[in-house]
Amino acid sequence: MVTMGGFRKSLISIVLAAGLLACLLNACAPAGTADETKTGSKYIIGVSQANMREEWRIALIDELKEAADSEEDIQIITADATGSVSKQVQDIDNLINYGSDLIIISPVDEKKMASKIKEIYNKDVPVIVMDRAVEGFDYTLYIGPDNQVVGRQAGDYVANRLGDNGGRVVALSSKSMSIQGTERMAGFLGTMEENSQINVESLYMESESKDAAYDLICASKEKVERADIIFAYSDNVALGVCDALRDSGLEGTVQVVDCDGFKGEDEGMDLVKEGRLLATVSCPIGGNEAFDYAKSILKNESGVPKQVILRSTLITVGNINEALGQMDANYEDHGQTIDVGFSQPGKESNWRLANIKSVSESARAFNINLHMEYADQSQAKQFEAIRGFIDEGVDVIIVSPVVGDGWEGILTQAKDAGIPVIMSDRDVTIEGEDESLRTTYIGADFMEEGRRAMQWLRDNVPAKGKALKIMELKGNAGAKPTLERGQGFRNILNQTPGYEIEYSDYGDFTFEGGREVVSQYLDENEWDIDIIYAHNDDMALGAIEELKARGIMPDQKVTVISVDATKAAFESMVAGELSCSVECNPIIGDQLMKAVRDLVAGKKMPYKIITEEKVYDQSVAESLIKSREY
Ligand code: GZL
């Protein structure tokens, strides 16, 4: 029996085979549109590329098509928006009308395309956004580099290269800069500002092109010849700079550092090998990652994150052969048992207990021998545990760091022992940003969680007249979730009149800690607080218990909001006590263990993998509580 779906696919196959698609798509991307040899595929992935002028965009399409070649039941259809927002909108409609089961889009303009992406996402068409993240989270998955980090890596290299004596740097900007270029330049100039011994001058190209770069350098010979290093934020621009230096007789006298580091003739990797570039910060294109996750999404596999931030790598003549080897490496998982040492901060909250359960279950499912240690919120005990894992000779170490600083020493010991480290649910700040000390971070975006908490307050608890007083219950001092949930909340608070943080203290993410903060406040003050913002549910529930014990709730209206969205939080919302909880998903065991197996198999890991999260309040708690996993 031919189902409507099967009929639809067969019809499409006929259309594709007849080549009508090319006309109907109204602009085949030069990389070709549909792979007619795979008519009748089970899945169709529609790819909407912003343009097919830029080398890396063509490379993205090629990577996706190459990946699809090895998958019989997946077909790729591409469309080239030729740099036009209106055409990209039309392309997406065409791709969906031909039966695309999933859309991959690299937006022409992430702000102008956000509503179209949200529209198809809300119609349950999975959509993977590449390279430029749209505002908000109305998409299935974002994959791209952190371009600020890319620029900072280039800036750190230039600063180290020039040393304490410093020097002169020319930074090439453009009057019409892409978001990617803007972020890279911001990261680069940010590091230049931290090095007062370096004199930086920005020159502005008429457009973001090789020729515009060439013309500008040739026309600025006096400024350029005084420079030690020129910074170009893309391979395309860098090539124009290198050609201009060559034709001006300055090649080798003035050095060039750039970003992109693509493979191919006259691309960054080539220019480094030829000695025309001093260094390039190489950014993976993400096509292989996008295809892998697209397959998981189409097959309804669990563990698909919300964002994958690709790792960028500094490439010089000293490590280019290793880097090229890594790019071509085929990784293979041999299915062997892998030994993992996991250092948890403790068992401080319901969230942590759910995380421990998830990690333990996934380890068994992924054939991983897990040695878990609990540090009672002590960084020293975490160091002790990690030294133990090193002595044991485990294959991989996973850490959920109790605080975010002070990890350089112990991570260097693990690196020296040849043991990669994955950060789970909390990241660390590494002085000097030596990216090799931590392989990847899998967890939440705490800044976004803080923003969402205050956005919920703004949208649901309107301030009337006098400013509403907020009590903040903070997690443990120095922990990334504490710092960033506080900062994210304040970012929105500072833009929203009518609210003020009246009192803030540490509750250490525990029930008792939250209760104690409220108790101490009441010992010294009359209760004059309108809102409690707790960094996690346990502290919120401890605070509610104390307010009830003191006879304040439920008589007085106190809005209590928190983060985690645990079962206990849902029960409290159903009971009409807690008002809202921003989700922070602890069920990341599968993602962690998949990352461990990929790592051991030799796969290059993303810089960050950010989990999917939502916001829940009393209006939905009753209907969802039975479906909650933790
Ligand atoms: C967040 C996690 C935090 C939880 C708390 O990823 O590290 O630590 O929000 C837990 O409940 O104690």
The residue-averaged pLDDT of 534-545 equals 98
Whole-angstrom distance, CA of residue 81 vs CA of residue 113: 12
Task: Reply yes or no on whether the pLDDT at 36 is more than 60.
Answer: no
pLDDT band at 28 (very low <50, low <70, confident <90, very high): very low
The answer to whether the CB of 289 is under 6 A from ligand 1 is: no
427, two tokens:
């990241």
Spacing, Cα 201 to ligand 1 middle (Å): 44
Spacing, Cα 397 to ligand 1 middle (Å): 19
Read off the pTM: 0.81
The answer to whether the CB of 444 is under 6 A from ligand 1 is: yes
Task: Reply yes or no on whether the pLDDT at 465 is more than 90.
Answer: no
Residues 338-442, CATH architecture = 3-Layer(aba) Sandwich (3.40)
H helix runs in 366-444, sequence order: 379-392, 408-416
The answer to whether the CB of 509 is under 6 A from ligand 1 is: yes
Task: Reply yes or no on whether the pLDDT at 242 is more than 70.
Answer: yes
The residue-averaged pLDDT of 254-269 equals 91
Least confident stretch, 34-43, 237-246, 442-451, 469-478: 34-43
| Residues 389, 390, 394, 395, CA torsion sign | positive
Find tokens 């002085």 and name the residue.
431
Residue range 3-139 forms a domain whose CATH class is alpha beta
The residue-averaged pLDDT of 534-542 equals 98
Return the residue whose CA atom lies nearest to atom 1 of ligand 1. 425
> Per the omega criterion (within 30 degrees of 0), is the bond before 554 cis?
yes
Task: Reply yes or no on whether the pLDDT at 404 is more than 50.
Answer: yes
**What's the pLDDT at 140?**
95
The answer to whether the CB of 563 is under 6 A from ligand 1 is: yes
The residue-averaged pLDDT of 31-38 equals 49
**What's the pLDDT at 33?**
53
Task: Reply yes or no on whether the pLDDT at 178 is more than 70.
Answer: yes
**What's the pLDDT at 179?**
78
The closest-lying atom of ligand 1 relative to the alpha carbon of residue 400 is 7
The answer to whether the CB of 349 is under 6 A from ligand 1 is: yes
pLDDT digits (tens, 9 = 90+) for 9-23: 454 554 444 444 444
Whole-angstrom distance, CA of residue 131 vs CA of residue 235: 16
Domain range annotation of the chain: 3-139, 147-282, 338-442, 446-584
The answer to whether the CB of 339 is under 6 A from ligand 1 is: no
**Which residues in 83-112 are b (16+ Cβ under 10 Å) and which e?**
ebbebbbbbbebbbebbbbbbbbbbbbbee
The closest-lying atom of ligand 1 relative to the alpha carbon of residue 480 is 7
Find tokens 């916001």 and name the residue.
615
Spacing, Cα 578 to ligand 1 middle (Å): 18
Q: Does domain 446-584 have CATH number 3.40.50.880?
A: no
The residue-averaged pLDDT of 267-291 equals 93
Find tokens 């983060």 and name the residue.
563
**What's the pLDDT at 27?**
36
Task: Reply yes or no on whether the pLDDT at 30 is more than 50.
Answer: no
Of 532 and 32, the one with more pLDDT: 532
The answer to whether the CB of 559 is under 6 A from ligand 1 is: no
**What's the pLDDT at 25?**
44
Asked whether the domain spanning 446-584 has the same topology as the one spanning 338-442, the reply is yes
pLDDT digits (tens, 9 = 90+) for 98-133: 999 999 999 988 888 999 999 999 999 999 999 877
The closest-lying atom of ligand 1 relative to the alpha carbon of residue 346 is 12
The answer to whether the CB of 126 is under 6 A from ligand 1 is: no
**Mean pLDDT score across all residues of the chain:** 90
**What's the pLDDT at 39?**
64
Q: Are 324 and 381 in contact (CB under 8 A)?
A: no
The answer to whether the CB of 443 is under 6 A from ligand 1 is: yes
Superfamily of domain 147-282: Response regulator (3.40.50.2300)
Q: Are 381 and 375 in contact (CB under 8 A)?
A: yes
591, two tokens:
């993602």
Of 619 and 605, the one with more pLDDT: 619
Spacing, Cα 17 to ligand 1 middle (Å): 53
Whole-angstrom distance, CA of residue 131 vs CA of residue 105: 9
**Best mutation site among 352, 402, 448, 510 for ligand 1, i.e. most ligand atoms within 8 A of its Cβ?**
352
pLDDT band at 31 (very low <50, low <70, confident <90, very high): very low
**What's the pLDDT at 433?**
61
